[in-house]
Chains A and B, each alone.
Chain A
Amino acid sequence: MKWILLSIVVTATALSDLLQSHEMKRAGEQSVDARGLARLLKTIARRRELILSIVCLAISFFAFMALVQAEPLSFAVPASASSFILETVLAKLVLKENVGMRRGAGALLVLGGVILLAR
Chain B
Amino acid sequence: MTHSPGARFRTYSLLGLFVFLRPLGNLSLAWGTKHFPQVLSLNPVVYLRAMVDPFVALGIAMLILALLTRLALLSLADLSFVLPVTAIGYVLATLFGQVFLHEAVSAQQWMGSVLIFMGTGLVGTTPQNTTADAKESG
Contacts and interface: CB of A to CB of B under 8 A. Distances in A.
Interface of A: 17-18, 20-21, 24-32, 36-37, 39-41, 43-44, 50, 54, 57, 61-62, 65-66, 68-69, 72-74, 76-78, 81, 84, 87-88, 91-92, 95-100, 102-103, 105-119
Contacts of B106: 119
B50 A107 contact: no
A27 B105 CA distance: 41
Given A66-B40, A98-B130, A110-B119, 17 more contacts: A32-B17, A68-B29, A73-B26, A73-B93, A76-B30, A88-B80, A88-B83, A96-B131, A103-B84, A106-B120, A107-B80, A110-B83, A113-B119, A115-B112, A116-B112, A117-B90, A119-B109
A20 B84 contact: no
Interface centre among B10, B27, B93, B138 (most CB of A within 10 A): B138
Interface residues of B, number: 73
A18 to B, nearest CB: 7
B68 interface: yes
Instruction: Point out which of A24, A68, A73, A102 has the most chain B C-beta atoms below 10 A from its C-beta.
Output: A73
B93 A95 contact: no
**Secondary structure type dominating chain A contacts:** helix
B29 A65 contact: yes
Overall SS of chain B's interface? helix
Contacts of A91: 78-80, 83
Contacts of B40: 65-66, 69
B109 A117 contact: yes
B19 interface: no
Given A21-B79, A28-B75, A77-B90, A102 B125 contact: yes
Nearest to B7: A29
